[in-house]
Chain A
Amino acid sequence: MVAELGHFALIVAFVIAAVQATVPLVGAHRGDDNWIAVARPAALTQFLMAAVAFFALMWCFVHSDFSVYAVYNSSHSLKPLVYKIAGVWGNHEGSLLLWILILSGFGAAVAAFGNNLPPALKARVLSVQGMIGVGFLAFILFTSNPFARVFPAPEEGMGLNPLLQDFGLAIHPPFLYLGYVGFSMAFSFAVAALIEGRVDPAWARWVRPWTLAAWCFLTVGITLGSWWAYYELGWGGFWFWDPVENASFMPWLAGTALLHSAIVVERRDTLKAWTILLAILTFSLSLLGTFIVRSGVLTSVHAFATDPARGLFILAFLVAVIGGSLALFAVRAPALKPGGLFAPVSREGALVLNNLLLATACATVLLGTLYPLFLDALTGDKVSVGPPFFQATFVPIMLPLLGAMVVGPMLPWKRADLGPALERLRFTFIAAGFAGLVVYALVSGTSLTAAGGIALATWIILGGMTPLAQRVFRRGAGGADRLRALPRSAVGMSLAHAGIGVVVLGLTALLTWQTEKDQVLRVGQSMDVAGYTLTLRSVGPHPGANYIASRAVFDVAKGGAVIKTALPEKRAYVDSTQVTTEAAIEPTLFGDLYVVLGDADGTGGYAIRAYFKPFVHLLWLGAALMVLGGVVSLSDRRHRVGAPAKSRTPGAAVAAPPARAAT
């Protein structure tokens, strides 16, 4: 009954989305206020219906209703409640439903809080949002009904892939989707602007907070995925350049570029066509990511539901959305009037460089991801493009970007001289070089590359803070007031930039000083890794809620004294044939001690792998700083949703659409 209710709600949402996609658009074109007014209730009701459907499915999962195929296929009655709930999006159908819920949620947010938007623009934005909704709702209703029943109802479910039964991964998809789908707002605004034929600073002011929020969510999502891979896959890798990871990384790169180019539109009223194109591409890459994960065109360690029939539907949808919007762009972009001019060396120039490098980096990732597909399609050869390709292409593109990201914010708008900007950075530069040299001289095993990495990281971290410091520590009193008066967006930028530097620092340390050791140990024997002594005390069974583990007990000693106990496990799940490795990760100030229990050799010994991962926590800290920077910047008064701008009224900045008289 609950399942049928959910199914019905989905059908209602589909019909409403169809109305939302058409009526307000026609209304905006004709200047008919009644038709335009349909957008708001439609968007709100669509969200309500999606929520009903979503919670209906969640009810089925929580109550283990195995007569619902999605529940039977990915849940189990013994599963802990949190994974029953996470199971809702741990399968193809439910994850689509989550996608739809978030998509309609963003639409409802614009409908509810976008009161300062010109009504025609709002109507068009919600219409485009409705079109995307129609596509996804049709997809779920016609190819992937989450409420399909099985008869006779099975007594027990098949269980969720044990690798996915993990808290980090349970909350990973919602964040990823909030990011992916969040970019749909930028997309809808871009298409609406193309239809209107006008982009102005006010437009950028509305788009930026949505993009920034989506970017924050996506950053959290990618970091959670990476963190999960680090502790769950059993060898402490955190990034594999796997197609599915690339699928989330490409929108991140494009979205980062979009964040920066939108600043130029907002402040200087230029780079409009490029920003529109970026908005379209960012969401297109999000859709492409869905296609890659869901269709099985590329093999991946992560792909868990692949079906060519669904792939065909998504492909048709991609062609309609991406092809349609890019064609619209080709036709309408010339109508966007170019704005202010700027010299190559200027804040604008630096942001253009940022965009060029990010776009190129994104293109190389796209090429590396799709190359096996192209080659297979053309010649039938099977290749896989691995980390060496990405390291050889992506890293050299990122290096100048990382170096320049400190200089850009020092440049004034319109026209700048490099000299004074570099002058203001001389202490940062000296400090960075000094840091590199000190580490090179004092820490054994440091290569020149590693010293360069340390210097680069220091340059970015200190350089990120420099503009703030120079505003606060000027001559004269009132430093505290100046600190309080700092614009939040400037603080946010500094935090996010410093976060990148922290990640670079963590990567450099990890790649340079990681140690690894493989050894067969019997109970009572010990091994040394990175100054720690691991002594195997025992190996025994350790039952869990829906698995049986063998758990090893290690004493971790440093300098003769036992400081910790490490408990790596291997788990065999009752509802699956898969065995998972639970590494014991012991965090220390200087990095993680990472111990993995391998197979028994049959004669009383166990294969043990132990790593020391220096400063790996800087990766997560850096990502957290980036997100924090985004959130702080979002809280800036200029970006607050619905907050009126201080100096100018939005109404004055926005010319009324041609068909409507200004009121």
Chain B
Amino acid sequence: MRPALVVPVALFAVVAVALAVGLGLKPREIPSALIGQPVPAFALDPVENFGPGLSNEDLRGQVTIVNVFASWCVPCRAEHQLWVDVAKTGLPIFGLNYKDTPANASAWLAQLGNPYQRTGADRQGRVGIDFGVYGVPETFVIDHNGIIQLKFIGPVDRVALETQILPKVRALQALVQPAPAR
């Protein structure tokens, strides 16, 4: 056997190992540089009639969810009912209305229901950029210190809600509330 003839099979072995490792990786999960960072400073007026407004100060003191939405965003419509349902449990959900017109945003919330305790109208998308938003919808879980703990890109479905977002919220809430005295 000539050594040169082994080269193709050896190269393929390297590729195969990389592919095997690659199977365990998740290229779609893009790590957000903002995880573990405090939320950017901002203060926004509410979407008309769906106040009060939203600022970074409102994201302290309790575990909150910030949901970035827009009336022009079709997947937002798909996930919206889920947030309306979650809001009934009393979990504070804040809405960041991204690059939207006031009239459209109001009409949208009036029609589909308002799950948000506070809303912020980010008409120019500046706050969205500070949050690292690059596609709507996106959802952030923020702890009581105002630190971003989880970022979810794309529409949330029930599975993602039950397996990723709510467990994170509960874990953070458990950290905040001191264990009851025995």
For B78, the chain A residues whose CB sits under 8 A away are 577
Q: Known contacts A330-B6, A376-B27; is A577 also within 8 Å of B75 by CB?
A: yes
Q: What is the number of residues of chain A that contact chain B, defined by CB distance less than 8 Å? A: 40
Q: Mark A303-341, 1 if CB is under 8 A from B, else 0.
A: 000001001100100110011001101110110000000
Chain A proximity of B58: nearest CB distance (Å): 28
Interface pair B12/A322, CB less than 8 Å apart: yes
Q: Mark B22-35, 1 if CB is under 8 A from A, else 0.
A: 11110110110000
For A579, the chain B residues whose CB sits under 8 A away are 74
Residue B174 CB within 8 A of the other chain: no
Task: With CB as the reference atom, state the residue of chain B lying closest to A380.
Answer: B25
Q: How far is the CA of A434 from the CA of B143 in the complex (A)?
A: 71
Interface pair A330/B75, CB less than 8 Å apart: no
Chain B proximity of A621: nearest CB distance (Å): 36
Interface pair A299/B101, CB less than 8 Å apart: no
Q: Mark A454-488, 1 if CB is under 8 A from B, else 0.
A: 00000000000000000000000000000000000
Chain B proximity of A474: nearest CB distance (Å): 46
Interface pair A599/B25, CB less than 8 Å apart: no
Q: How far is the CA of A382 from the CA of B6 in the complex (A)?
A: 32
Task: With CB as the reference atom, state the residue of chain A lying closest to B5.
Answer: A330
Interface pair B28/A297, CB less than 8 Å apart: no
Interface pair B5/A329, CB less than 8 Å apart: yes
Residue B179 CB within 8 A of the other chain: no
For B12, the chain A residues whose CB sits under 8 A away are 284, 322-323, 326
Interface pair A329/B25, CB less than 8 Å apart: no
Task: With CB as the reference atom, state the residue of chain A lying closest to B78.
Answer: A577
Among listed B13-21, B59-67, B161-169, interface-contacting one: B13-21
Interface pair B1/A373, CB less than 8 Å apart: no
Chain A proximity of B52: nearest CB distance (Å): 25
Chain B proximity of A384: nearest CB distance (Å): 9
Chain A proximity of B4: nearest CB distance (Å): 9
For A373, the chain B residues whose CB sits under 8 A away are 18-19, 22, 25, 27
Interface pair A376/B75, CB less than 8 Å apart: no
Q: How far is the CA of A435 from the CA of B75 in the complex (A)?
A: 53
Chain B proximity of A330: nearest CB distance (Å): 4
For B103, the chain A residues whose CB sits under 8 A away are 602
Residue B37 CB within 8 A of the other chain: no
Interface pair A298/B27, CB less than 8 Å apart: yes
Q: Is the interface of A mostly helix, strand, loop or mixed?
A: helix
Chain A proximity of B31: nearest CB distance (Å): 8
Residue A177 CB within 8 A of the other chain: no
Interface pair A308/B23, CB less than 8 Å apart: yes
Q: How far is the CA of A299 from the CA of B22 in the complex (A)?
A: 11
Q: Known contacts A319-B16, A374-B18, A599-B72; is A327 also within 8 Å of B9 by CB?
A: yes
Chain B proximity of A597: nearest CB distance (Å): 15
Task: With CB as the reference atom, state the residue of chain A lying closest to B74.
Answer: A577
Contact of B16 among A277, A308, A315 (CB under 8 A): A315
For B144, the chain A residues whose CB sits under 8 A away are none
Interface pair B16/A334, CB less than 8 Å apart: no
Chain A proximity of B171: nearest CB distance (Å): 24
Interface pair A382/B30, CB less than 8 Å apart: yes
For A308, the chain B residues whose CB sits under 8 A away are 23-24
Q: How far is the CA of A298 from the CA of B25 in the complex (A)?
A: 9
Chain B proximity of A141: nearest CB distance (Å): 21
For B25, the chain A residues whose CB sits under 8 A away are 297, 373, 376-377
Residue B2 CB within 8 A of the other chain: yes
Task: With CB as the reference atom, state the residue of chain A lying closest to B104.
Answer: A602
Q: How far is the CA of A572 from the CA of B73 in the complex (A)?
A: 12
Residue B90 CB within 8 A of the other chain: no
Task: With CB as the reference atom, state the residue of chain B lying closest to A281.
Answer: B8
Within 8 A of A (CB), among B24-56: 24-25, 27-28, 30-31
For A322, the chain B residues whose CB sits under 8 A away are 12, 16
Residue A291 CB within 8 A of the other chain: yes
Q: How far is the CA of A601 from the CA of B74 in the complex (A)?
A: 17
Q: Mark A367-400, 1 if CB is under 8 A from B, else 0.
A: 0001011101100001000000000000000000
Within 8 A of B (CB), among A329-363: 329-331, 333-334
For A449, the chain B residues whose CB sits under 8 A away are none
Interface pair A323/B13, CB less than 8 Å apart: yes
Q: How far is the CA of A463 from the CA of B20 in the complex (A)?
A: 46
Task: With CB as the reference atom, state the residue of chain B lying closest to A599.
Answer: B72
Q: Known contacts A297-B25, A297-B27, A377-B25; is A315 also within 8 Å of B20 by CB?
A: yes
Q: How far is the CA of A297 from the CA of B74 in the complex (A)?
A: 28
Residue A578 CB within 8 A of the other chain: yes
List 8 additional contacts besides A281-B8, A315-B20; criterion CB under 8 Å: A295-B19, A298-B22, A298-B27, A312-B23, A334-B1, A334-B2, A372-B27, A382-B27
What are 6 A-B interface contacts by the 8 Å CB criterion?
A280-B8, A315-B23, A322-B16, A572-B74, A577-B77, A577-B78
**Interface set of B (CB-CB < 8 Å, partner A):** 1-2, 5-6, 8-9, 12-13, 15-16, 18-25, 27-28, 30-31, 72, 74-75, 77-78, 101, 103-104
